[in-house]
């Protein structure tokens, strides 16, 4: 079932991971697009080698998410019904974790990610829960997270763990 967001024309629908109508190839495409700049630096690999590497990494990430976050909501971001990205959020009794938010390149920087993050923050505020995420230090999205109030709470190698405390803790 699709669910509308607060941003006009943008909706979320459950990602299909198996069977007819599976979104896995689309989700792989979003993942590959998110790594394109990084892999452009690897000059001694053929396009086939890059694709093989990306597919392997996507498969490992997908398996990890499914194994460690079985109750997460895995959704495809759509603009007027057309898939444009992925949005994975795990909701637990202690935290809301934004596991992944990624858009195809032509949809980045136009406020879609911010609108989705603001919806998660509103939901977390109503539940009195912190919101956590991991981001690469060089990812441009980190600036958005900082503007929304997230702070780095841990350096985890390539990634930084960021958190926005629940509202009651923000003012104590």
Q: What is the pTM of this model?
A: 0.90
Report the number of distinct structural domains present in the chain. 1
Determine contact, residues 121/131, Cβ cutoff 8 Å: yes
Q: What is the CATH number of the domain that holds 123?
A: 3.40.630.30
Q: How far is CA 143 from the centre of its chain?
A: 15
Q: Distances from the Cα of 106 to the Cαs of 31, 34, 56, in angstroms?
A: 14, 12, 25
Determine contact, residues 76/12, Cβ cutoff 8 Å: yes
Question: What letters, b where the CB count within 10 A reaches 16 and e where it falls short, cover 107-130?
Answer: bbeeebbbebbebbbeebbeeebb
Give the pLDDT confidence of 43-93 residue by residue, as tens digits. Answer: 899 999 999 999 999 999 999 999 999 999 999 999 999 999 999 999 999
* Top-confidence residue, 119 or 21: 119
Question: Please, which residues bridge with residue 86 across strands?
Answer: 76, 102
pLDDT of residue 171: 44
* Other Cβ atoms within 10 Å of 96 Cβ, number: 21
32 has pLDDT over 50: yes
Question: What confidence tier does 3 reach under pLDDT thresholds 50, 70, 90?
Answer: confident
Mean pLDDT of 16-20: 84
Q: How far is CA 68 from the centre of its chain?
A: 16
Give the whole-angstrom CA distance, residue 74 versus residue 24.
Answer: 11
Closest CA to 84 of 15, 18, 6: 15
Give the whole-angstrom CA distance, residue 44 versus residue 32.
Answer: 18
Give the whole-angstrom CA distance, residue 76 versus residue 103.
Answer: 10
Pick from 37-51, 112-126, 130-144: least confident: 37-51
Give residue 138's domain range. 3-170
33 has pLDDT over 50: yes
Give the whole-angstrom CA distance, residue 154 versus residue 132.
Answer: 11
């Amino acid at each position: 079932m699709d669910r509308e967001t607060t941003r006009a024309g943008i909706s979320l629908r459950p990602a299909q991971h198996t069977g007819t109508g599976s979104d896995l190839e689309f989700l792989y495409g979003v993942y590959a697009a998110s790594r394109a700049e990084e892999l452009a630096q690897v000059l001694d690999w053929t396009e086939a080698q890059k694709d093989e590497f990306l597919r392997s990494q996507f498969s490992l990430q997908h398996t990890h998410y499914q194994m460690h976050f079985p109750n997460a909501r895995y959704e495809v971001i759509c603009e007027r019904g057309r898939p444009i990205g992925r949005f994975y959020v795990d909701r637990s009794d202690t935290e809301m974790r934004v596991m992944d938010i990624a858009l195809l390149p032509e949809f980045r920087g136009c406020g879609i990610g911010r609108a989705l993050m603001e919806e998660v923050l509103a939901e977390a505020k109503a539940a009195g829960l912190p919101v956590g995420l991991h981001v690469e230090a060089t990812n441009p999205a980190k600036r958005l997270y900082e503007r929304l109030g997230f702070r780095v709470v841990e350096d985890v190698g390539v990634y930084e763990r960021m958190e926005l405390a629940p509202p009651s803790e923000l003012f104590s």
